Structure 1
Amino acid sequence: MIWPPTRPAPDPVRPGEESVWDYPRPPRLEAVRARLRVVLGDAVIAETEAGFRVLETSHPPTYYLPPGDIAAGTLVNPRRGGICEWKGQARLFDVQGGGKAASGAAWTYPDPTPDFRAIAGYVAFYAGPMDACFVGPDRATPQPGTFYGGWITPGIVGPFKGAPGTMGW
């Protein structure tokens, strides 16, 4: 491996698209008015039009939903999660819904850093373990790998961090 790793060439961007390579570092927090929906076990376990997204260089957006818009009993087994250099100490949850369960498939920042105070207690879901995640009418594809939790939808172009060989980007 070449160190430091070289930044890949961004994919071409057409009108109406966003390149993750134009997202900032440190990341930016934005309100989202599109309907966000999370499905597990054929049950809608979370749905809101009052979410946020975090935009960070090389990552598809990560979506955070208010806890009041998550079905009761969905988040179980809270435990200490990782530490984000931008947002602080996370709390990890198992997710259950519609008779299915997904271990470690959601997280929150109970006491985030000042720049991310607006998402205190909001919850993000890994798209991969869910049956489906939607931004408006668009079904999201999980960010590559198992560490990051971004949702890829039409109009978001990469390449995306997370696949083998991309950790140094």
Structure 2
Amino acid sequence: MTTHPAHPAARSIRTTPEGLMWEPSERWVRGRKGDVTVVDSRHPVLVWEPHLPVPQYAFPRADVRTDLLRPAKNPPTGKHTGSRVFYDLDAEGEVRENAAWTFPADDLAGHIAFEWFLRADTGLDHWYEEDEEIFVHPRDPHKRVDALPSSRHVQVEIDGRLVADTRAPVLLFETSLPTRYYLPRADVRLDLFDATDHSTGCPYKGTAEYWSWRGGGDVPPNVLWSYPDPLPAVAAVRGRVAFFNEAVDIILDGERLERPETPFSRMLRTR
């Protein structure tokens, strides 16, 4: 039996002089543009930029179809921490500008990072960790998401009006975010909201649908959401609805909670 040295993924997160944090990953990661596999790596690294709360993958050049990359014609400035080398992706008869780039850190020399498919004109179409497709951004190995059924008493008010009242919530605990309260639809006044065409994706929970408050006032749109087909790890929230704690008043077991200040607070204010 061959003995291998300890895998570098067991080492702690490292920080570069540019403020990047990174660590090796043991996951097999693939990225595709249409039917073309552009990235196929068993040695990716996760990189955290100072201004982004979620990680990104960077890959050894040997694991990337560099024959499909061209020096970017219109490289952006200030988009990624200190990055000045960008590439356009030319695959399947389509060019996606600035789809890939390199980080300036010596530690990450020889690695290429890719935009994820958030719009039709950038990044790759599909990403996989092992044989499971993942969405929006890589999952953070230091983040935990737990969906726990509870018998706590949860009430929700908007502008002083009671819009939800339940003793059968599912509490979703997600690292670095406030607890979200997923409520049975029968216990929510959905007649006071209008369904919208807004949707978002989450690599931990799936794709969400949204509702907006009908009552006017200083309530941002899309304040209420649900995951009709959540990922298996949070199956307990299926079909339930949750409110942005940042924009409504939540009363938990008779105690009115303070509205948290999160990155979503800024997003809601600019809608």
TM-score (norm 2): 0.43
Secondary structure class of the residue paired with 1:73:
helix
Show CA shifts across 1:119-140 (max 9, x none): 111111012322x211112212
Residue 18 of structure 1 is matched in structure 2 by none
Give 1:113 deviation, angstroms.
Answer: 1.0
- 2:203 equivalent to 1:85: yes
* Distance in 2 of aligned mates of 1:146 and 1:106: 17
5+ long unaligned stretches in structure 2: 1-17, 22-47, 50-141
Residues in 2 aligned to 1:122 and 1:73: alpha-carbon distance in whole angstroms? 15
Task: Note if contact 1:92-1:105 (Cα within 8 Å) is conserved in structure 2.
Answer: yes
Deviation at 1:47, TM superposition (A): 0.7
Deviations 1:11-56 (A, max 9, x none): xxxxxxxxxxxxx833111112111111113211001010011112
Aligned equivalent of 1:127, options 232, 236, 245: 245
Q: Helix, strand or coil: the match of 1:142? A: coil
State whether structure 2 residue 156 is matched by structure 1 residue 38. yes
Measure, in 2, the Cα distance between the counterparts of 1:41 and 1:26.
33
Assess, with a 3 A threshold, how the Cα gap between structure 1 residues 127 and 57 changes in structure 2: closer, same or farther: closer
1:2 matched residue in structure 2: 19
Report Cα offsets for 1:72-104 as digits up to 9, x if no partner: 41231332321011110011110235x655411
Normalized per residue, which structure has more helix? Answer: 2
Q: Report the CA distance shift for 1:128/1:26 in structure 2 as closer, same or farther (over 3 A).
A: closer
Query: Is the counterpart of residue 56 in structure 1 residue 178 in structure 2?
Result: no
CA shift, 1:67, in A, is: 0.6
Residue aligning to 1:140: 257
Three-state SS of the structure 2 residue aligned to 1:104 is coil
Structure 1 counterpart SS, 2:197? strand
> How high is the sequence identity, in percent, across the aligned residues?
25
Find the counterpart in structure 2 of residue 96 from structure 1. 214
Name the CA distance, whole Å, in 2 between partners of 1:139 and 1:96: 23
SS at match of 1:68: helix
* Secondary structure of the corresponding residue to residue 89 of structure 1: strand
Q: How far apart, in 2, do the equivalents of 1:127 and 1:28 lie?
A: 18
**Residues paired across the two proteins, number:** 131
Aligned to 1:70, which of 178, 185, 188?
A: 188
Partner of 1:143: helix, strand, or coil?
coil
Counterpart Cα distance in 2 of 1:30 and 1:79: 29
What is the CA–CA distance in structure 2 between the aligned matches of 1:70 and 1:33, rounded to whole Å?
A: 16
**Higher gyration radius (CA):** 2
Q: 1:72 to 1:26 in 2, by over 3 A?
A: closer
TM-aligned CA distance change 1:143 to 1:42, over 3 Å:
closer
Distance in 1 of aligned mates of 2:262 and 2:145: 20
Greater RCO, CA 8 A, separation 6+? 1
Structure-1 separation of matches of 2:246 and 2:143: 25
Distance 1:60 1:127, change over 3 A: closer
What is the TM-score with the length of structure 1 in the denominator?
A: 0.67
